[in-house]
Amino acid sequence: MTAKADVLKSLDHSWNELRSAVESVSEDEMLAPGVTEQWSVKDLLGHIAFWANRAANTLTEVSAGRGDQVPGTESQAETDDWNAREAVARKDKTLAELRSEWERAHEAARAALEKFPEDKLDEPFKERTVVFSFGADTFAHYQEHAFQIKQWLRQTETTEA
């Protein structure tokens, strides 16, 4: 059985790593494309916020017995479509707005996890488990993008030197 305390620890650790990476980026660098293909750190904040909010919603719906009503993606192409749609929806938001959304989304995901019944973490959900889905949308996702930001910063420093 998965312990909620372990999941919270993973979430907090990966959030701190991501936040540290984001905080190491200057305001001007936040807007520069190229962190992931054409996306900037600003774009990533909105992207990460979308998935963290989705994770919070998933836990809320599963806890209420409505997990079957949570939309999911069946393929990488569908996930890419969701990502593109959400990027367009946030395109005109300011950096301050996206940073705030990013922080609120993480807090919503953390709060939903704290309220979620520990004995339901290992229940099946969309051909996986609830905890796997939550982790994919939060801590694993945070780690992926923290790594990309750090790598991009190293490449930027190398090309500017």
Question: Smallest Cα–Cα separation from 135: which of 8, 1, 3?
Answer: 8
Its pTM surpasses 0.85: yes
Q: Report the number of distinct structural domains present in the chain.
A: 1
Q: How far apart are CA 84 and CA 47, in angstroms?
A: 9
Q: What distance in Å separates the CA atoms of residue 65 and residue 63, rounded to the nearest whole number?
A: 5
Burial label, 118 (beta-carbon count in 10 A; 0-12, 13-18, 19+): middle
Provide the sign of the torsion angle of the four alpha carbons 49, 122, 68, 112, taken in this order.
negative
Q: Looking at residue 75, what is its pLDDT?
A: 86
The runs of H, that is alpha helices, within the chain are 4-23, 27-30, 41-63, 76-90, 95-115, 130-137, 139-160
pLDDT for the residue numbered 159 = 67
Do the Cβ atoms of 114 and 59 come closer than 8 Å? Answer: no
Statement: residue 161 has pLDDT above 60:
no
CATH of the domain at 8: 1.20.120.450
Q: What is the pLDDT of residue 158?
A: 73
Q: Which two tokens stand for residue 48?
A: 């990460």
For the chain, the average pLDDT equals 94
pLDDT tens for residues 38-94? 899 999 999 999 999 999 999 999 999 999 889 888 888 999 999 999 999 999 999
**Cross-strand bridge partners of residue 36:** 39
pLDDT attached to residue 86? 94
142-161: average pLDDT = 88
Mind listing the pLDDT tens digit for each residue in 95-151? Answer: 999 999 999 999 999 999 999 999 999 999 988 999 999 999 999 999 999 999 999
pLDDT at residue 160 is higher than 70: no
Confidence grade of residue 157 (pLDDT, cut at 50, 70, 90):
confident
Domain hosting residue 11, numbered range: 4-160
